Amino acid sequence: MAGLNVNRAEFIRSAASPKQFIRTPLPTVVFAGKSNVGKSSVINRMLNRKNFARVGASPGKTVHVNYFFIDEKLYFVDLPGYGYAKVSQSERDRWGKLMEDFFAEPSLMSLGVMIVDARHKPTADDVTMAEYFKNSGCRLVVVANKLDKLKKSEIEPNLALIRETLKLPGDVLLIPFSAEKGQGREALLAEILKLL
């Protein structure tokens, strides 16, 4: 299997409009999730970093698509978080427009990584985001983050509820994950390496 040196990661650009999206023949791994779900932490965990993708700063304030170039082999694409209650209508509209533009170009994505909270039933916004991904036709994996906050007996029923609420087709992998502890990292990395 081809390798990926995740220590070679570089921030490339923050795109606020479609003309700034990166159009490349290289694979793109697109991360999405609601604000505070731990999207930055998942990206940092994948890259073995602490503070590479931003963590915990002003949730919902950044309506940008952030691009990271990994080992000159593929891109991590960090979509803006959604569902943060204290966001103005104009910010919400900006988010909606940017996502419409992004998902209108299926060639911008090779693999979707949708991150949800392992503790909770996915929100209506999560369901909407999952629909975007499913309709795009690109391969999708769902990461159930914050696994470390669950009791062992809660894991299976919660995963079943996530699969059912998001109406995930049987071939969509659902990965129990803890950005904090590292569980699930190898499973997600294996999916990413399939792109090389």
> Which residues contribute to the site for ligand GDP (CB under 6 A)?
33, 35-41, 55-56, 59, 81, 145-146, 148-149, 178-180
Instruction: State the minimum distance, in angstroms, from the CB of residue 23 to ligand GDP.
Output: 25
Instruction: State the minimum distance, in angstroms, from the CB of residue 180 to ligand GDP.
Output: 4
**Distance between CA atoms of 84 and 61, rounded to whole angstroms?**
9
Q: Whose CB is nearest to ligand GDP? A: 38
User: If we measure between CA atoms, which residue out of 27, 6, 24, 5 comes closest to residue 15?
Assistant: 24
| Integer CA distances (angstroms), 134 to 28, 37, 68, 113, in order | 16, 20, 24, 11
- Count helices and strands (H / E) in the chain: 5, 7
Instruction: State the minimum distance, in angstroms, from the CB of residue 4 to ligand GDP.
Output: 21
Q: Are 82 and 35 in contact, with CB atoms under 8 Å apart?
A: yes
**Distance spanning both ends of the chain, measured CA to CA:** 8
Instruction: State the minimum distance, in angstroms, from the CB of residue 125 to ligand GDP.
Output: 13
Quick one: 179 or 188, whose CB is closer to ligand GDP?
179
- Under 8 Å CB-to-CB from 159, ≥6 apart: which residues? 118, 144, 174, 176
Quick one: 16 or 26, whose CB is closer to ligand GDP?
16
Instruction: State the minimum distance, in angstroms, from the CB of residue 78 to ligand GDP.
Output: 8
Quick one: 1 or 86, whose CB is closer to ligand GDP?
86
Quick one: 181 or 194, whose CB is closer to ligand GDP?
181
Quick one: 14 or 24, whose CB is closer to ligand GDP?
14
